């Protein structure tokens, strides 16, 4: 660690990992309810468990991104973070908001209250006061990192990272707009959801991967940054109009079926480019970096994102296919591998890279960490396969044959049992990762908080 | 990567191209907004009751089990066309009664069957919620879903 303020990342990532555990445990409970539907049905109904699962995921990924920004920006800008106090204030604000949202969901506090009650639009369920807190936290964050970047060296990595983080904040503002017309509601809801995960989050992903490649492979910055611009260009050129693939069946004009099909098919390109980029950099790089686990996660990230987001996304994005598969388990399959590959793996990669520097030890618990990679990746792939089979059966029985929803679900029980097994493996993998990162460490470098050279 | 493309050229293409595509997107969404208000939905029937029904739908987090127009969780049936599944277009009165009876009888408690939570609704809230589902069934969705099963 070259700069003291990079240590801010530590608490962001510890909070992120705690929520990662909450997320996978809630997922396991939800998976169990699928096969034993009476479980907790009165105490903690499925809709609440699912909110915990999806919201914990979103918040921990964002905390991970913030942590990554605090770690990367000082090193790239060659400048300490403008104000560590603001950074910790931002973290506390986010944690209070998260806790507030969780307690509100579980105990259904202030039902129907426009400020304190849950809002119940998918993924945007946070009570209004939490949303406003998130916006204040985002403003504090952007103020803090933007001043840091402006005061220091400007690199393509910080440019793109900052643009992505600004985009996250700007598009989140659309969560405040909730018109009475359901069609308009959905049109702008996607401005948060799609323009995040298939837009500005990809900027964060590409810039963090570029930073990791720069450090692990030692390839020339010029080469890496040119790749970075090409990747993010293909991401936004395809992803912005690719929003159209969500506008097929929600009351938007028919032209979106064409625009959405064409541009969202192209969304596979940036993910393929990231695979080429990471593998070529490793192949060309001469540096033999000791942190093999970080390298594994980085390569795993681009590969699994390509399959989960790229290939599985393409599978059902053309409108003649989507007409039948829309809103089935096919979507669930794609969602799970896309988020795991692109964003979970990205966060775990940068944490695996940076934590040894923050703690001032040599890359530690490498074997455990790599075991957790294979366990998590294998289990997520298995989950994706069985949900894809479930989705194919569901699409045929329900959308082609016209069988009723509940009858079809009974036919899918076997797949849901297999998904539950995969979920259990994911929980074990996640706990193993957390232990590998935060558990006992050996081989101190004696360099905590000091420069770590030459391998960085 | 080829020497033909310099880093600053790549940067300019990224910023210029992104601005270009975003501008097109904003233009199309502006038209979509107009289309949604005039063509695909009937705003003259978007009454206070329907809007209140939408808020009831939201504050009970219905979307975290059900889908509406294919979006939401996949744990319970699609509700964008539930009004048509109950033949509300032919006999609105019976459909309304049947939907009410269904909702107030939840959860069923039947072993091995997915359970809808117990929601405490007033009669007006039930009416508003059903009005929202009725209105949603009239949205022009490019003929989705493919059949009544939703």
Q: B75 and B28 in one domain? A: no
What is the full per-residue pLDDT of chain A (456 aa) written as tens digits?
A: 899 999 999 999 999 999 999 999 999 999 999 999 999 988 999 999 999 999 999 999 999 999 999 999 999 999 999 999 999 999 999 999 999 999 999 998 888 888 999 988 999 999 999 999 999 999 999 999 999 999 999 999 999 999 999 999 999 999 999 999 999 999 999 999 999 999 999 999 999 999 999 999 999 999 999 999 999 999 999 999 999 999 999 999 999 999 999 999 999 999 999 999 999 999 999 888 999 999 999 999 999 999 999 999 999 999 999 999 999 999 999 999 999 999 999 999 999 999 999 999 988 889 999 999 999 999 999 999 999 999 999 999 999 999 999 999 999 999 999 999 999 999 999 999 999 999 988 766 655 544 444 444
In eight-state DSSP terms, residue B71 is E
Q: B134 and B73 in one domain? A: yes
- Beta-carbon contacts of residue A55 (< 8 Å; ≥ 6 apart): A101, A102, A105, A123, A125, A126
Domain of residue B26, residue span: 1-40
Q: Is B78 helix (H, G, I), strand (E, B) or coil?
A: strand
Q: Minimal Cα distance from B77: which residue of A?
A: A405
Cα(B92)–Cα(A432) distance, integer angstroms: 56
Name the token pair of A53.
Answer: 């699962």
In this structure, the strands spanning B71-72 and B67-68 are: antiparallel
For residue A242, give the nearest of A175, A296, A355, A322 by alpha carbon.
Answer: A322
CB contact under 8 A, B114 and A406: yes
DSSP annotation string for A284-347: H-----S-HHHHHHHHHHHHHHIIIIIIHHHHTTSHHHHHHHTTSHHHHHHHHHHIIIIIIHHH
- The single residue listed with the structure tokens 């509406």 is B68
Q: B141 and B86 in one domain? A: yes
Q: B138 and B117 in one domain? A: yes
Q: What are φ and ψ of residue A267, in 5° steps? A: -65, -15
In eight-state DSSP terms, residue B68 is E
Q: In this predicted model, what pLDDT tens digit does every residue of A178-235 receive, in sequence order?
A: 999 999 999 999 999 999 999 999 999 999 999 999 999 999 999 999 999 999 999 9
Q: B117 and B83 in one domain? A: yes
**Which residues of B fall within a CB distance of 8 Å from A34?**
75
**Distance set, CA A274 to CA A8, A229, A234, A265, A278 (Å):** 28, 11, 11, 16, 6
Q: B130 and B63 in one domain? A: yes
Of the pLDDT bands very low, low, confident and very high (cuts 50, 70, 90), residue B113 is very high
> ipTM score of the complex?
0.96
Q: Is B72 helix (H, G, I), strand (E, B) or coil?
A: strand
- A398/B contact by beta carbon, under 8 A: yes
Query: What's the mean pLDDT when you consider all of chain B?
Result: 95
Supply the pLDDT for residue A148.
97
CB contact under 8 A, A250 and B69: yes
Whole-structure pTM over 0.90, yes or no?
Answer: yes
Q: B55 and B36 in one domain? A: no
CB contact under 8 A, A237 and B54: no
For residue A86, give the nearest of A190, A171, A8, A3 by alpha carbon.
Answer: A8
For residue A175, give the nearest of A127, A139, A235 by alpha carbon.
Answer: A127
Supply the pLDDT for residue A364.
82
- B62/A contact by beta carbon, under 8 A: yes
Q: B56 and B33 in one domain? A: no
| Residue B137's CATH number | 1.10.760.10
**Distance set, CA A237 to CA A147, A157, A200, A243, A268 (Å):** 29, 19, 12, 11, 12
Supply the pLDDT for residue A453.
46
Cα(A249)–Cα(A257) distance, integer angstroms: 9
CB contact under 8 A, B136 and A405: no
Question: Which residues, numbered 68 to 127 in chain B, qualify as contacts with chain A under a Cβ-Cβ cut-off of 8 Å?
Answer: 68-78, 107, 109, 111-115, 117-118
Torsion of CA A16, A18, A19, A25, to 10 degrees: 150
For residue A127, give the nearest of A138, A139, A118 by alpha carbon.
Answer: A118
For residue A242, give the nearest of A266, A260, A228 by alpha carbon.
Answer: A260
Q: In this predicted model, what pLDDT tens digit does every residue of B69-102 receive, in sequence order?
A: 999 999 999 999 999 999 999 999 999 999 999 9
CB contact under 8 A, A183 and B40: yes
CB pairs A-B closer than 8 Å = 219
Q: B79 and B130 in one domain? A: yes
Supply the pLDDT for residue A169.
96
**Distance set, CA A17 to CA A66, A187, A353, A430, A438 (Å):** 13, 33, 15, 9, 10
- The single residue listed with the structure tokens 């890496």 is A224
Q: B71 and B53 in one domain? A: yes
- Give the burial string for A6-37 (b: 16+ CB within 10 Å, else e): bbbbbbbbbbbbbbbbbbbbbbbbbbbbbeeb
- Beta-carbon contacts of residue B62 (< 8 Å; ≥ 6 apart): A47, A120, B72, B79
Of A50, A252, A326, the CB nearest to B73: A50
Give the gyration radius of chain B's Cα atoms: 22
Q: Minimal Cα distance from A260: which residue of B?
A: B25
- The single residue listed with the structure tokens 């499925």 is A46
- The single residue listed with the structure tokens 């686990």 is A293
Number of structural domains found in chain B = 2
Of the pLDDT bands very low, low, confident and very high (cuts 50, 70, 90), residue B3 is confident
- A283/B contact by beta carbon, under 8 A: no
Q: B99 and B134 in one domain? A: yes
- Other beta carbons within 10 Å of A221: 14
Cα(A253)–Cα(A122) distance, integer angstroms: 23
Q: B26 and B3 in one domain? A: yes
Question: Which residues, numbered 129 to 148 in chain B, qualify as contacts with chain A under a Cβ-Cβ cut-off of 8 Å?
Answer: 132, 135-136, 139-142, 144-148
State how far residue A360 is from chain B, nearest Cα, in angstroms: 35
For residue A157, give the nearest of A229, A219, A87 by alpha carbon.
Answer: A229
Cα(A266)–Cα(A27) distance, integer angstroms: 31
**Which residues of B fall within a CB distance of 8 Å from A332?**
74
Of B54, B61, B107, the CB nearest to A125: B61
Supply the pLDDT for residue A441.
82
Cα(A96)–Cα(A119) distance, integer angstroms: 18
**Which residues of B fall within a CB distance of 8 Å from A171?**
none
Supply the pLDDT for residue A112.
82
């Amino acid at each position: 660690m070259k700069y003291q303020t990079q240590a801010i990342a530590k608490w962001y990532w510890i909070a992120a990992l705690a929520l990662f555990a909450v997320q996978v445990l809630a997922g396991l409970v939800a998976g169990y309810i699928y096969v034993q539907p009476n479980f907790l049905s009165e105490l903690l109904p499925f809709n609440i468990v699912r909110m915990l699962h999806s919201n914990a995921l979103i918040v921990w990924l964002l905390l991970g991104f913030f942590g990554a920004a605090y770690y990367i920006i000082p090193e790239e800008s060659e400048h300490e973070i403008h104000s560590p106090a603001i950074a910790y204030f931002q973290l506390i604000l986010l944690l209070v908001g998260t806790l507030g949202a969780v307690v509100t969901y579980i105990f259904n506090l202030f039902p129907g209250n426009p400020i304190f009650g849950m809002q119940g639009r998918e993924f945007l369920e946070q009570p209004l006061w939490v949303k406003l807190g998130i916006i204040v936290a985002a403003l504090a964050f952007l103020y803090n990192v933007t001043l840091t970047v402006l005061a220091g060296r400007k690199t393509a990595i910080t440019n793109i990272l900052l643009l992505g983080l600004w985009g996250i904040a700007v598009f989140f503002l659309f969560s405040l707009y909730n018109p009475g017309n359901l069609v308009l509601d959905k049109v702008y809801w996607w401005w948060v959801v799609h323009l995040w995960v298939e837009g500005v989050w990809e900027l964060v992903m590409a810039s963090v991967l570029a930073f990791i490649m720069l450090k692990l492979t030692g390839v020339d910055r010029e080469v890496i940054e040119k790749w970075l611009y090409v990747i993010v260009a293909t991401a936004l050129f395809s992803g912005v109009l690719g929003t159209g693939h969500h506008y097929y069946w929600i009351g938007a004009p028919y032209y979106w079926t064409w625009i959405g099909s064409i541009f969202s098919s192209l969304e596979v390109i940036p993910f393929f480019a990231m695979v080429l980029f990471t593998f070529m950099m490793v192949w060309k790089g001469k540096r033999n970096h000791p942190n093999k686990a970080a390298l594994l996660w980085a390569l795993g990230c681009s590969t699994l994102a390509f399959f989960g987001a790229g290939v599985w996304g393409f599978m059902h994005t053309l409108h003649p296919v989507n007409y039948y598969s829309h809103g089935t388990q096919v979507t669930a399959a794609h969602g799970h591998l896309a988020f795991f590959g692109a964003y979970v793996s990205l966060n775990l990669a940068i944490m695996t890279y940076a934590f040894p520097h923050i703690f001032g030890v040599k890359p530690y618990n490498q074997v455990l960490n790599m075991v957790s990679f294979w366990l998590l990746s294998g289990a997520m792939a298995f989950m994706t396969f069985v949900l894809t089979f479930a989705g194919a059966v569901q699409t045929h029985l329900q959308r082609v044959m016209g069988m009723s929803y509940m009858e079809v679900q009974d036919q899918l029980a076997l797949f849901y049992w297999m998904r539950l097994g995969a979920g259990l493996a994911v929980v074990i993998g996640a706990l193993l990762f957390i232990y590998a990162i935060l558990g006992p460490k050996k081989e101190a470098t004696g360099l905590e908080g000091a420069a770590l050279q030459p391998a960085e | 990567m080829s020497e033909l493309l310099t880093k600053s050229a790549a940067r300019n293409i990224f910023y210029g191209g992104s601005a270009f595509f975003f501008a097109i997107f904003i233009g199309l969404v502006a038209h979509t907004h107009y289309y949604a208000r005039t063509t695909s939905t009937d705003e003259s029937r978007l009454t206070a009751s329907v809007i209140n029904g939408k808020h009831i739908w939201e504050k009970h987090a219905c979307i975290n089990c059900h889908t509406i127009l294919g979006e939401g969780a996949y744990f319970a049936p699609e509700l964008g066309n539930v009004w048509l599944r109950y033949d509300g277009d032919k006999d609105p009165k019976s459909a309304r009664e049947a939907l009410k009876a269904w909702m107030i009888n939840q959860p069923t408690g039947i072993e091995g069957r997915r359970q809808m939570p117990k929601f405490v609704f007033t009669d007006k809230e039930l009416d508003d919620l059903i009005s929202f589902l009725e209105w949603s069934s009239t949205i022009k969705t490019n003929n989705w879903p493919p059949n009544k099963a939703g």
